[in-house]
Structure 1
Amino acid sequence: MMGPQTSGTARNRDVELYFDAHGDNSNPPVLFVNGLGSQSINFLPAWVQSFNRAGFYVIRMDNRDVGRSSKTPGEPPSIERVFEQLTREHSLGELSAPYNLSDMAMDCLAVLDALEIEQAHVWGMSMGGMIVQTLAINHPGRLRSMTTVMSTTGEIGVGQATPEAVAGLGTTGDDRRSVVANAVAARELQGGALFDKDWALSLEEAAYDRCHHPQGQVWQLLAILASGSRADQLPTVEVPTMVIHGRMDQLIQLDGGEATAALIPDAELVVYDQMGHDTPEPLWGDYVADLQRLADRTR
């Protein structure tokens, strides 16, 4: 069981955002920001507790278009069409996006505002890393520190996925069983040496039952593509930064993390040899220690 919990809904204009918070709210807050299509429950109770025990007040949220947060009306283009367009033109082309990463960064601030938190550590993985980078660029005063995990700079040709990893993204299914099975298979393709199939299965079953909304993944992907590269802005970041990446990552390969760390002044790069595009439980203690070390730089 998790400790004391606050849950609620924040609002950024017409978008409602689900959040929950755990632990002692007098402790330093850390906002965890998820990747493409992932819900707040991706950060499991045991994950939350590990950061609580280390003295952090933990905040989870559903990005727009997933979980209990607002959904974009209408139907997006197919994810296959999005990748086809990107591969052919290396640009968004004709595809329009109803929002971008700057809007999603403002969603994060809305959650902090709802909790009356002026500054927080932010920890974002994959797309979440892109969102927290955008926060650090546009709203540095709201951040105590930034940890960007298995993410990249937005530059074309940097942190590119392998064809096998991309193929897993476009697979859904017709019913609960096939959706869950395909999602687990995609996680296995993208995971590293520490991948736990039973853990992935239980998480994907819970995610399906809480909110199955595959359109959200496509809208979020369009937001990434519409936002372009952050390479010109990242050298201006003054927020204490850590970049974490897995050497076995096939969805955003290691050079994405290396490029991010190289662009941000004084960023610390941490590479885990057995980590893929996942956050395996055997490394949770290391992630906690990483954040503690980064937080010490802000005191």
Structure 2
Amino acid sequence: MPRARANGIDIEYEATGNPIDPPILLVTGLGAQLITWDDDFCAQLAGRAFHVIRFDNRDAGLSTHLDGAGPPDMGAALAGNPKPAYRLDDMAADSVGLLDALGIDAAHIVGASMGGFIAQLIAINHAEHTLSLTSIMSGPSWREGVPPTPEGSAVLLARPASSPEESIELSMWGRSELVGSGDPFDEAVERAKAERAVRRAYYPVGAGRQLVAILAADDRLERLRALRVPTLVIHGDEDVLVPIENGRRVAAAVPEARMLELEGMGHDLPRRVWPRVIDAIVETAAKASPVQPGAAWLC
């Protein structure tokens, strides 16, 4: 996969579709790699005439690992005194830096979970680079939001894996806890995904630093009220990690935002909801001002 230099770090990315089509930037969640955005999902988006770009956030996958920052102080963070090595605003700047490196002036921004936090900050801090915003299973803040259920908290605060093998089992357990009742847990499929992720990159300490950045983030609610881009909020009604009330707060804050609530969906983006999700993203993107094709680039 190609790599770009952006905001002082190296970002691993992958693009699908025709570069002359309107770009969509997919932003991943906590500790997740770009392959978390399913290959088929990306292909279906590209099939709707979009240039789809997914990438590894800093401290995840094959992008720059911030080893010099040292291990995160989770005790201080959970006690209400987070000491982040970087902020979500920095991760938003990474995303915009990637667009700049690719010669893309503006994109439709789609983020899931922590990626939704980052996507919101891209729209807030870098409005000129944002054609539309889609925030999936996210909220306006962590500290001021509706907290996870006990089951969700157990997944979020689980002890980091000490080996690749343990990482696979931890991922399997976490996925089984987070799926909704509409999507039975498929052990074979989820194990294959977990094994693929570990083969590609194993770096649990990075997820810890990302979590501290989440815990240190300011509430975005008032700044969301000032957004003037087409906005879509997608949330499952059985999300135990980021309960749906958080998504509803985002939708209520952003002027003319659309809220898509998906029955039986947990903290996940299961294949059965892809048609509705992709249709909604396409409809939201259609409300944006047209973008002129950027400079040609190779991937």
- TM-score of the aligned structures, taking structure 1 as reference length: 0.91
Query: One-letter code of the match for 1:152?
Result: G
Q: Deviation of residue 148 (structure 1)? A: 0.3
Quote the Cα distance in structure 1 between the aligned partners of 2:224 and 2:88.
14
| Distance change (3 Å), C-alpha of 1:209 and 1:267 | same
Give the match's secondary structure for 2:234.
strand
Deviations 1:237-270 (A, max 9, x none): 1111000000010000010000111111111000
Quote the Cα distance in structure 2 between the aligned partners of 1:173 and 1:110.
31
Question: What is the number of residues matched between the two proteins?
Answer: 285
Q: Which residue of 2 aligns with 1:103?
A: 90
| Distance change (3 Å), C-alpha of 1:8 and 1:173 | closer
Quote the Cα distance in structure 2 between the aligned partners of 1:298 and 1:49.
22
Q: Deviation of residue 155 (structure 1)? A: 5.5
Q: Does residue 75 in structure 1 map to residue 77 in structure 2?
A: no
Q: Which residue of 2 aligns with 1:31?
A: 25
Determine which of 36, 58, 62 is the counterpart of 1:64: 58
8 Å contact kept, 2:161–2:204: no
Q: Deviation of residue 144 (structure 1)? A: 0.8
Unpaired runs of 5+ residues, structure 2, are: 290-299
Q: Does residue 221 in structure 1 map to residue 211 in structure 2?
A: yes
8 Å contact kept, 1:10–1:19: no
Give the match's secondary structure for 1:165.
helix
| Distance change (3 Å), C-alpha of 1:164 and 1:45 | same
Q: Does residue 11 in structure 1 map to residue 11 in structure 2?
A: no
Q: Which residue of 2 aligns with 1:235?
A: 225
Counterparts of residues 1-299 of structure 1 (less than 5 Å): 7-13=2-8, 15-72=9-66, 73-77=68-72, 79=74, 81=75, 84-85=78-79, 91=80, 93=81, 95-154=82-141, 156-169=143-156, 170-193=158-181, 194=183, 195-299=185-289
Q: Deviation of residue 74 (structure 1)? A: 4.3
Quote the Cα distance in structure 2 between the aligned partners of 1:173 and 1:75.
17
Quote the Cα distance in structure 1 between the aligned partners of 2:77 and 2:85.
18
Quote the Cα distance in structure 2 between the aligned partners of 1:196 and 1:26.
37
Quote the Cα distance in structure 1 between the aligned partners of 2:198 and 2:73.
20
Quote the Cα distance in structure 2 between the aligned partners of 1:217 and 1:36.
6
Query: One-letter code of the match for 2:149?
Result: T
Deviations 1:60-110 (A, max 9, x none): 11000001111112432365x36642xxxxx3x1x3112101100110011
Query: One-letter code of the match for 2:244?
Result: L
Q: Deviation of residue 157 (structure 1)? A: 4.4
Query: One-letter code of the match for 2:248?
Result: E
Quote the Cα distance in structure 1 between the aligned partners of 2:130 and 2:212.
26
Q: Which residue of 2 aligns with 1:3?
A: none
Q: In terms of mean alpha carbon deviation, does 253-262 or 200-209 score higher? A: 200-209
Deviations 1:166-220 (A, max 9, x none): 2123244333332211111111111112143332211111111111111111111
Give the match's secondary structure for 1:153.
coil
Query: One-letter code of the match for 1:175?
Result: S
Quote the Cα distance in structure 1 between the aligned partners of 2:142 and 2:56.
26
8 Å contact kept, 2:178–2:239: yes
| Distance change (3 Å), C-alpha of 1:69 and 1:258 | same
Quote the Cα distance in structure 2 between the aligned partners of 1:152 and 1:254.
8
Quote the Cα distance in structure 2 between the aligned partners of 1:76 and 1:256.
29
Give the match's secondary structure for 1:232.
helix
Unpaired runs of 5+ residues, structure 1, are: 1-5, 86-90
Percent identity among equivalent residues?
33
